[in-house]
Structures are given as C-alpha cells and as structure tokens.
Amino acid sequence: MKPHILILGAGFAGHTAALHLSYLVRGKADVTVVAPNNRFTWFPSLVWVGTGTMREEETVFALKPVYDKIGIAYVDARAKIINVGTQTVTVEDAAGSPSDIHYDYLVNATGPYLNFEGTPGLGPATGNTTSICTVEHAVQTRERYLEVVRAAQAGKRGRIVVGVGHPAATCEGAAFEFLMNVHADLKRRRVRDLIDLTWLTNEPEFGDFGVDGVEALRGGVLVRGASLVRMLLDESNVQAIAGAGVTRVEPGRVHYERVGDEPGSVAFDLAMLLPQFRGIPMRYIDATGTDVTEAMTLPSGFMRVDANYEPKAYEAYRADDWPALYRSPSYDNVYAVGIAFAPPHPISKGKKTGSGLAVVATPPRTGMASGIMGRTVAENIAMQVDGKTPDHHARMSEMPAACIASMGKSLWSGSAATIIMTPVVRDFDRYPKYGRDLSLCDLDVGLNGAWTKRLLHSAFLWKLQAKPGWQLVPE
Amino acid sequence: MGLFWRRFLPLQLWRFVTLNIKMYRIARGSIGPGRRPH
C-alpha cells in the first residue's frame, strides 16, 4: 500500500507543497489536501478589491479542478483534531459532519486564525472595523469605503484609518499597501482633499514591516526603507503614528497606547485594521488519547517545529534559531509551514509602552516565504518516501523575499515599491555589517513596480492553477 | 517619488527588466544562498 501524504490547508504553503508533490511522489504515494471552501485566494490583490479597483472573482479560483488535473485528492473540510499517535486527522465538513483521515506524512499549512477578539471592538463581524484578510472582508471594506467616497463626493469630509489593530499584529506591509492604494484611489476620484488619512502601526519605526526594516545600495549609496516610507507618507499627506498598540475600538474611534508617548485615539468613518494572527484552533492528541496540544504548539497556537524556542534577549537571537526543515521535533512525519509554524522569536525589536504593554511587529510569512517552505517540505517528504534522510532546508535566515507593495493599480499612473531582501531574518554571523547581503537587496519605487505587481498577479495565478509550464515560475 | 521619475519610461522599463531578472534569479537560486542543500 502506498504511503498517504495529507496536507491541511491550501494557501500559499499548502497549495505549493501539493503542486510539487504531484510530480515528486507520482506513483509512489497518494496525496490529499483538506481545506474549506474549495477556493484558493490570491491575497496580494485583495488591496485592490478593498478599494474597488479589482473584482473579487479575479483573485480566486476553484481548487478541486486543479487537484483533479494533477492527480491529488481534495476534501472540502476543516481539520479539528490531529492524533499524532494513530496518525489520524479528524476533519469536519461544512455541515459539521466529522470523519477521520489516516496519514503517513502530515503537512500542517492551516494558515492564521484571525484573532479579532484579541482587541475589544475590532473586526467586521461584531466590531467596528473592517479588514482585507479574506475576500468577504475585502468586499465589505470596499462597500464601506465607497460610502465614504460617495459622502466626500457630496462635499462631506471623511476620516479613514488604516493599519493594524493589535499590539502584536503582523502583515504591516499589506496594510501599508492598502493605505497607499486608498490614497491613489481617492486622488483618482478627486476627493483626496476631503479625506483625512491616518496610518496606525505597531512597527517601532516606519518601514520596519516586522522584519527589522530593509535597506539597499543604490549607486553605492545606502538607501533605507524607513526613509523611503517616511517620504511616501509625507508626500501623500498621511498622518502617521508608529509604535502604537491598539487597545480597543469604539464606534468611530480607535484607542491606542504608544511607545514613548501618551495614549491617544483617532476618530474614523472607516477603519481597516488587521487583526493579530494566531494558530488555527486544533487539538493534538497522542495514541492514548491524552491531549498533547501544549507540547505540540506554543501559546500562540502555532505549531512547534525544529526551531530554538529558548527565551533570550533580542540581542542574543541567532540566525540558526530559525527552523530549517519545518518538522515537528517529536514526530518526524509531521511538518508545519507558512503561517502555521511557530517562529522562534520576533525579527523586529519589540518595545513597551508606559503601562508595560508590549508592542511588537511579529514576523510576517509572506506568499514567497510560504511558497518556498511548501516546496522545501514537499522535497523532504519525497526523500522520506524514497527512504532517504531529508536535507532540503529553507531557514528564513537564509531565504530571500521579494515584496511588491502596490501604491496604485494603473499601468500608466500607478506605482509600487519593490523590496528585495536576502535573507529575511538578519544573519550577523554571515553578514556582519547589516546582517543581509546588500548585493541581493533592492529598494525601488515607481511605475515599474505597478507593472511587476500585475505581472506577478497573472504569472502566479497561472502557476497556482497548474497551467502548462507552471514549474517555470519560481516560488 | 516625483512625476518625472515615475513617468520616465526608459528608466522604468530598465528597472522593470533588471529587477525582475534579479528577483527571478534569486528565486531560482542561481544567485544568492538559494534553497537547495548547500
């Protein structure tokens, strides 16, 4: 009987792992993907859905036809319990009916739980803010945004706040993209002068993006992301607040504490604030039925992998604290990738407010990083299936990342910041001066970035649908 | 970023080509540390 590889989740990490396993273990193992909603979402373009410049249908595709094409089984369900002893996952379909699926190899790529409850008054369902974390949230944001725009077109002033809604939130880059797209769209609609735009972020300084900032050499001159972002905020006439941990949101007003400053609040007609990410709530049990969730995960709910989780001072963090294989230290057939794995420590330095509230931009795990992890795990599982010892590694401290932050979608008048950094997590042992290889870093702002963003949208949707030649598009 | 630099098409084309080649080569692992065993 062939071994069974089970992938939980079909986001960037899980879906990329499935694509690569489809040929790496063809004929040698069976592969099944468990994910809800039969849908892949191209999250990087939701910033455009939120401003009404892209239709939501252009950012999603159905997963099942893709898996049918590449010979992978698909189950439309959510994972609830992982029994690491009997190697069984209990899943629940949309109707709530449970069933068990056996695995020989397991990839946990379940992505984030959007912890809106972590901040009183936050969130689109029961709170007072919107988000762009899912297609439905982005559509809801668009409707609220267009209301503010229509009021401005009728001559009424409006206030929009964009940022993160928790002191330990992540993905500041995505929120910044939305901010700059709102600015560009308001200009296009000729109502920018009537809207006060505020950027509210937990980053210690602008341009940190949860990765301790970015820098590059341009013509032999060191350019820092912080300077670039400050320039963009000034040029766009945005009121910007850094080091802010949002503590609660009332209808029309967001309250925050700030590092090195007094607590404050900002009034809004529309607030798009990203929540904190936590691990998807799942129970882990062993063969005796004992709950081993605490041993398998960190308090954040993310799964422990081959990282060094020993608590230590920020200055003592090392590049090799970061996981190489993304494999459970207890079970060598269980992996966690993308947002599901527990980072060993923040990349960006956290600070405390006067009341002792820790404000820290937690590590982002972008599409590129998640894709690389997904592929690496696929390669390692294929080696295990062949009876070999896995040796592919992709530490975030050796991994490059490219990020294209849109600042207007138009291919003529749009713009985007292109950010390339290698590696994501600074490695001062290898690169003593900056912790990164500056010959492999870049920073640029201009129309060319808008072209690249559109190119990536099309190229990746082609790749992720496993269309001919998809392997030519790298993660 | 000023209008001139945003719209100066030859420069934008040059940056588009060079940055995409750089990103592609880094992503393929042909420059940089790569993701393969090393």
Q: Which CATH architecture has domain A4-114+279-385?
A: 3-Layer(bba) Sandwich (3.50)
Query: Exposure pattern of A47-71 as b/e (b: 16+ CB <10 Å)?
Result: bbbbbbbbebeebbbebeebbeeee
pLDDT per position as a tens digit, A203-250? 999 999 999 999 999 888 999 999 999 999 999 999 999 999 999 999
User: What is the token pair recorded at A128?
Assistant: 């007072």
Q: Which amino acid is present at A455?
A: L
Alpha helices in A154-224 (DSSP H): 172-188
Beta bridge partners of A222: A217
* pLDDT of res. B28: 83
CA A433 to CA A61: how far, in whole Å?
Answer: 44
Radius of gyration of chain B (CA): 14
* pLDDT of res. B10: 86
CA A419 to CA A433: how far, in whole Å?
Answer: 19
- pTM more than 0.90: yes
pLDDT at A141 over 80: yes
Sign of torsion over alpha carbons A129, A132, A138, A143: positive
* pLDDT of res. A253: 98
Q: What are phi and psi of A188, to 5 degrees?
A: -60, -35
pLDDT per position as a tens digit, A237-258? 999 999 999 999 999 999 999 9
C-beta of residue A137 within 8 angstroms of C-beta of residue A131: yes
Q: Which range has the worst mean pLDDT, A49-53, A225-229, A288-292, B5-9?
A: B5-9
ipTM above 0.85, yes or no: no
* pLDDT of res. A321: 96
CA A62 to CA A269: how far, in whole Å?
Answer: 35
User: Which residues of chain B does A400 touch, with a Cβ-Cβ cutoff of 8 Å?
Assistant: 26-27, 32-33
**Left if phi > 0, otherwise alpha if psi is -120 to 50, otherwise beta: which for A273?**
beta
pLDDT per position as a tens digit, A431-472? 999 999 999 999 999 999 999 999 999 999 999 999 999 999
What percent of chain A is modeled with pLDDT above 70? Answer: 100
Q: What are phi and psi of A391, to 5 degrees?
A: -140, 10
DSSP state of A315: G
User: Which member of A235, A372, A440 has the closest CB to residue B32?
Assistant: A440
Contact B23 A420 (CB under 8 A): yes
pLDDT per position as a tens digit, B1-38? 455 555 688 889 999 999 999 999 888 877 776 544 43
* pLDDT of res. B33: 66
CA A228 to CA A215: how far, in whole Å?
Answer: 10
Alpha carbon distances (Å) from B3 to A398, A406, A415, A446? 37, 17, 11, 9
Q: Which of A278, A295, A273, A277 is nearest to A286 (CA)?
A: A295
pLDDT per position as a tens digit, A73-124? 999 999 999 999 999 999 999 999 999 999 999 999 999 999 999 999 999 9
* pLDDT of res. B37: 43
Q: Comparing A34 with A261, which gets the higher pLDDT?
A: A34
* pLDDT of res. B3: 57
∠ Cα A385 A335 A9 (to 5°): 105
Sign of torsion over alpha carbons A363, A366, A368, A371: positive
| Mean pLDDT score of chain A | 95
CA A71 to CA A383: how far, in whole Å?
Answer: 20
Residues 1-38 (B) with a CB less than 8 A from some CB of A: 1, 5-7, 9, 11-13, 15-16, 19-20, 22-24, 26-28, 31-33, 35-37
Contact B23 A402 (CB under 8 A): yes
Q: Which of A248, A128, A129, A258 is nearest to A203 (CA)?
A: A258
The stretch A326-352 carries a mean pLDDT of: 96
Strand order in the sheet with A270-274: A239-241, A195-200, A158-164, A270-274
Beta bridge partners of A163: A200, A273
Query: Exposure pattern of A181-212 as b/e (b: 16+ CB <10 Å)?
Result: bbbbbbebbebbebbbbbbbbbbbbbbbbbbb
Task: Using pLDDT thresholds of 50, 70 and 90, give the confidence band for residue A347.
Answer: very high
Q: Which amino acid is present at A186?
A: L
Q: Measure in Å the smallest separation between the Cα of A243 and chain B Cα atoms.
A: 25
pLDDT per position as a tens digit, A158-207? 999 999 999 999 999 999 999 999 999 999 999 999 999 999 999 999 99
Q: Which of A230, A138, A234 is nearest to A178 (CA)?
A: A138
Q: What are phi and psi of A265, to 5 degrees?
A: -150, 155
* pLDDT of res. A71: 96
Beta carbon pairs, A and B, within 8 Å: 73
CA B27 to CA A456: how far, in whole Å?
Answer: 13
pLDDT at A150 over 50: yes
Contact B1 A437 (CB under 8 A): no
pLDDT per position as a tens digit, A21-34? 999 999 999 999 99
* pLDDT of res. A413: 85
Contact A400 B26 (CB under 8 A): yes
The stretch A279-297 carries a mean pLDDT of: 95
User: Which member of A394, A415, A442 has the closest CB to residue B22?
Assistant: A442
